[in-house]
Structure 1
């Protein structure tokens, strides 16, 4: 943890030594350190791990990326006699601690774990990586493997903030809100016992969305204040944390699956539209939405994102464009589909004169992360592109 502490502050700047008469003013004038938001969140979650329901003899973790994860749990929650790790996407690491059993499976399939055999199930930043049937399946499996009185602890980014922040992670499907996960956990047989927030991103007095990056100016708020106030305001925080106890009642599996499917169908379209506009691009509002302009001779990316996952199948994405002069003049536009980590696009089209809608079909042989739907200018004739795409999944 000491190494993490050192990396939390990635750059510091010394101020001049304060004189006794002006110490307070000098302190205020000190240049603020540059903070790494990922380590800030990591340490905040670690603080909450220390307060999880104590005394677990058998802890199950859903989503454990490597040895560092088990070290983190032991340094914060404490050592448990038996720690089960469920992980599907990462290979089993070498040198696991002697109290760890690694299970290669999805979070919605814990068939290797006996009924009512666990004291505590922890899903840390995992729920948002799952597809809808996996979310509901995980909650029902957690209810099955926990003994009556055992605890489920889950934390995840909050869609009430990720959506207005236009924030994306290449492996996230949809993020849930605290109210939504509360309802789902109750359907799955849990009584909610506690909820907390991490990293305040909405001013509770004004409703204004606060920057995700702690280094951006936030008038009226310090980093410390945002961290402290977040704990009691999970709905206004970037991350919610929720704890529930397994009650001796039968989960309503059908209702849990149905609710999660409905939530996904409702909020997946918004996830698709988390497109990014590079700084300096001009935007124009219309009834259709925002048009992003590329002036004549102005090359480079015009829109990109949303850095999202898609399951295997054939898909189609469509952009809407218009020439700068409103006629059918040629446009120096290129549309493509990129995958994170792959240098070349998996689909690409150079826009021709008269094309107002550009569609690209692409095939994925497996679940793929980090998809981007980009539109770029080659620096010739100007055009505008609608900051919105149409995505059709699993086409024939």
Structure 2
């Protein structure tokens, strides 16, 4: 289980060669993401302005329900995968100048941050904070190093290590309140032997313990003027489990 489940977005690692060698299309991707999107839509208001950051094959943004859907990726070829209702932007995750301050309600990224070095990571987080409206959410699906140690560096573009603890702390350090943490969210890859039938994916997401789950879910909420001037401590997280 070594190939990322979803999308990659750093300009220096995403090119046609990467798509051929590490990010090839997988049967069942669209059907699986339809179900995953229904699960994640609890964090996406119906009237949300949403950005899929590092959209890749647009598996998330094509299936999520939102009033306004944007997709950004550094690889120009990704535009061909976007549905007609998705507004596409070719560019780096470190530069979201196409979006005005506080103009988005949800930023989603799947399998993106682990591909960024320190400066790129900081620049990306600053941009996400800038474009999110107060109360907006940063929804992250990432490999959890704690549960995929042996496979983590099978992807030659992985540069940064995260666990559910370190990723939540990183978001807190940038002013986010942690709304949800699921250390075991999804299998690391579609190359898992687990079937990807939609009904089975729904059952899998309903399990209190998810076998073979090497990916985590972390949701951060941007503060509002009414919030205290510091993020809540880890013990106050709304949900930590699985």
TM-score, normalised to structure 2's length?
0.64
Deviates more, 1:136-145 or 1:191-200: 191-200
Which whole-Å CA distance do the structure 1 matches of 2:213 and 2:168 have between them? 16
The 1:65/1:192 distance shift into structure 2, 3 A limit, reads: same
Using a 3 Å threshold, how does the CA distance of structure 1 residues 164 and 171 change in structure 2: closer, same or farther?
closer
C-alpha contact (below 8 Å) 2:46/2:67 kept by paired residues: no
- Are 1:229 and 2:197 counterparts? no
* Counterpart residue number, 2:6: none
Q: 1:198 aligns with which of 181, 185, 189?
A: 185
Please, which moves more after superposition, 181-190 or 90-99? Answer: 90-99
Deviation string 1:180-219 (CA, Å, 9 cap, x unpaired) is 1111111111101112232479xxxxxxxxxx9446xxxx
Query: Structure 1 regions of 5+ residues with no counterpart?
Result: 1-35, 202-211, 216-223, 250-396
- Tell me which moved more, 130-139 or 88-97: 88-97
Conserved? CA contact 1:37–1:213, under 8 Å: no
Residues matched between the structures, number: 188
Q: Work out which of the two has the higher radius of gyration on C-alpha atoms and give 1 or 2.
A: 1
The alignment partner of 1:173 has SS state of coil
Q: State yes or no: 1:244 paired with 2:234.
A: no
Higher relative contact order (Cα pairs below 8 Å, separated by 6+ residues): 2
Deviations 1:272-296 (A, max 9, x none): xxxxxxxxxxxxxxxxxxxxxxxxx
Hey, what's the Cα distance between the residues in 2 that align with 1:183 and 1:116? 23
| Equivalent position of 1:8 in the other structure | none
TM-score with structure 1 setting the length: 0.41
Number of the residue aligned with 2:97: 111
Residues 214-293 of structure 1: matches in 2 within 5 Å?
214=193, 228-230=207-209, 237-248=213-224
Tell me how large the CA RMSD over aligned residues is: 3.4
Instruction: Say if 1:49 and 1:73, in contact at 8 Å, map to a contact too.
Output: no
User: Going by fraction, where is strand more abundant, 1 or 2?
Assistant: 1
Q: Which of 35, 58, 61 is the matching residue for 1:73? A: 61
**Alignment map for 1:1-396 (pairs within 5 Å):** 42-43=32-33, 45-66=36-57, 68-69=58-59, 72-75=60-63, 77-78=64-65, 80-91=66-77, 93-94=79-80, 96-165=82-151, 168-196=154-182, 197-199=184-186, 213-214=192-193, 228-230=207-209, 237-248=213-224
Q: 1:149 to 1:160 in 2, by over 3 A?
A: same
Structure 2 CA distance for partners of 1:187 and 1:41, relative to 1, 3 Å: farther
- CA 82–74 in structure 1, closer or farther in 2 if over 3 Å, else same: same
Structure 2 Cα separation of the partners of residues 187 and 91 of structure 1: 34
